[in-house]
Structure 1
Amino acid sequence: MADLPDGAFTLVYLDPPFNTGRTRERVSTTTTVAGDVQSGFRGRGYERVRTLLKIYDDTFDDYWGYLAPRLVEAWRLLADDGTLYLHLDYREAHYAKVMLDALVGRDRFLNEIIWAYDYGAKPRSRWPSKHDTILVYVKNPGAHVFDVDAIEREPYMAPGLVTPEKAARGKLPTDVWWHTIVPTGGRERTGYPTQKPEGILRRMIQASTRPGDVVLDPFAGSGTTGAVASALGRRGVLIDAHPHAIDVMARRMPGAAVRRIADGDDAAVTA
């Protein structure tokens, strides 16, 4: 990410590890905050918020020390009319909101999107956790791209309560998105364990970019962001540190250019 130019992307989508408590490789990094990425939430400085969050971080080796530098870079790379989407689950979403408020300012917050699904095991001792949270921030509130006419509409839940014309047209999605996960035997299934469905990325890209714009995914995984961007006439830059992810993306987008970073397994895929 550090090699990419300022303001190059109209949309940045981040789908990082969710801090589930599973064993992960130790990551040690230093964050430098510059420019306007200094303070936000109630005037508190970024470093203070990061210190407070680390107190609650007991499963990942300094999760916010890992994620915050990437958020800083993502914000630098975001265009003046750009939108940042951060995709997490219930473990870190509330902390992420505080962190991003401190990094970029509360006035840059646009939406909290809830992606709800109904699949997998259901515990009997608590309410089943069947949603992810996507936090949406914009570089310049009011000047960001949001093409409401390009967004695919969805069926009304009670079509009998609206006119036949409205029922046929469908309704605009709200900030609660009901969408299945990638089906086991589905067309878009790649076998990558954390693959996100194309429909979720399609909605973001349709709303927050124009044809010809460039999107960035620095935790690209199976490459869904690039595949959807390409199908919609956008370009994508996808980054991942896992060799398996790079192989999956190369097979999924055979026309993409792959550049492997010399000092490790990280690779950038341009679709």
Structure 2
Amino acid sequence: MTKGFSWAPESPNTVVHGDNLPILRSLPDASFQLIYIDPPFNTGRKQLRQNTKSVRSSTGTRIGYKGQTYETVRGLVTSYDDAFEDYWEFLEPRLEEAWRLLADTGTLYLHLDYREVHYAKVLLDALFGRECFLNEIIWAYDYGARTKSRWPSKHDTILVYVKDPRQYHFDSEEVDREPYMAPGLVTPEKVARGKLPTDVWWHTIVSPNGREKTGYPTQKPVGILRRIIAASSRPGDWVLDFFGGSGTTGAAALQLERRFLLIDQNPEAIATMQRRFAEDDVAFAESEIGH
């Protein structure tokens, strides 16, 4: 990891370790076609995840396929604090920078849950203008614990705002398509092609046992980010995510031939991204801005 950080449109794909606000303030206006951010949800608790795996062992206590014995090996613990005394004092100046950094054809995707998304809508209406609101996307999933005292919460909300409603980029032809829920009501040609997604996305979370898993808390699926990036940017465009986390935005951008800048202050996030991009041409930098 190199000390010091500066960015230009000619820079390589880059991950920066540092406080995102002063880094954002150092970047030039209108530099990014797409900004996706998945900030902490202000749950008021510490987010914690530990990797585990099963290995064959003659002294293991678990019985598996064909009577083989296994033991569970615990791996790296990753965590971050998800509680703020004043959440909007933290997030508002970063959203102001996001507006400044978007290109005129650009789009912001802000990923939150039910705790703060309503306040975010009011703030972004004021910051961008209500005419710049494009969509409220509901990402629905069906996994995890279920309460019996209320309706279980099984969705996140992604607010979508454009910089200029007269010239924003959106390419529905590039978006992945979904199976029809009632294929018997449409032609075979339509069934074969699939339908465009609506503003409700049914998509599984990252499987705890899948290849995509990095072990980082709150990791989002590549499929969600691929859909966003494909729709609202073009090959070669710059994508910014200043809550980089596990690096899913960068992974999807690489698949779709976009360029990316990811920022995160958490050393565990940086370590996760270093492992994830170990075989890719990605620069890692330690920001000294604001130190």
Match of residue 288 from structure 2: 262
Shift of 1:79: 0.4
- The DSSP-based 3-state class of the residue aligned with 1:111 is strand
Alignment of 1:40-55 (within 5 A): none
Match of residue 138 from structure 2: 114
Shift of 1:264: 7.8
The letter for the 2-side match of 1:168 is: A
Shift of 1:94: 0.7
1:68 maps to 2:68: no
How many residue pairs are counted as aligned between the two chains? Answer: 231
Greater gyration radius:
2
- The DSSP-based 3-state class of the residue aligned with 1:239 is strand
Q: How far apart, in 2, do the equivalents of 1:103 and 1:151 lie?
A: 28
Q: How far apart, in 2, do the equivalents of 1:85 and 1:142 lie?
A: 18
Structure 2 spans left out of the alignment, 5+ residues: 1-23, 48-82
Match of residue 188 from structure 2: 164
- The DSSP-based 3-state class of the residue aligned with 1:180 is coil
Match of residue 79 from structure 1: 103
- The DSSP-based 3-state class of the residue aligned with 1:202 is helix
Shift of 1:238: 0.2
1:3 maps to 2:26: yes
Shift of 1:262: 2.2
Q: How far apart, in 2, do the equivalents of 1:253 and 1:121 lie?
A: 32
The letter for the 1-side match of 2:143 is: Y
Shift of 1:5: 1.1
Shift of 1:115: 0.2
Normalized against structure 2, the TM-score is what?
0.77
Q: Percent identity?
A: 70
Structure 1 spans left out of the alignment, 5+ residues: 25-58, 266-271
Of 195, 200, 223 in structure 2, the residue corresponding to residue 176 of structure 1 is 200
Match of residue 174 from structure 2: 150
Q: How far apart, in 2, do the equivalents of 1:7 and 1:136 lie?
A: 17
Cα 1:192–1:23, aligned 2, differ >3 Å: closer, same or farther?
closer
The letter for the 2-side match of 1:92 is: E
The letter for the 1-side match of 2:232 is: S
Shift of 1:142: 2.9
Runs of 4+ in 1 over 2 A off after TM superposition: 262-265
- The DSSP-based 3-state class of the residue aligned with 1:73 is helix
Match of residue 134 from structure 1: 158
- The DSSP-based 3-state class of the residue aligned with 1:259 is strand
Deviations 1:128-156 (A, max 9, x none): 00000000000010311101100010100
1:21 maps to 2:44: yes
Q: How far apart, in 1, do the equivalents of 2:166 and 2:138 lie?
A: 22
Higher share of residues assigned strand: 2
Q: How far apart, in 1, do the equivalents of 2:92 and 2:290 lie?
A: 21
Match of residue 229 from structure 2: 205
Q: CA RMSD in A?
A: 1.4
1:217 maps to 2:241: yes
If asked which structure has higher relative contact order (CA below 8 Å, sep 6+), I would say 2
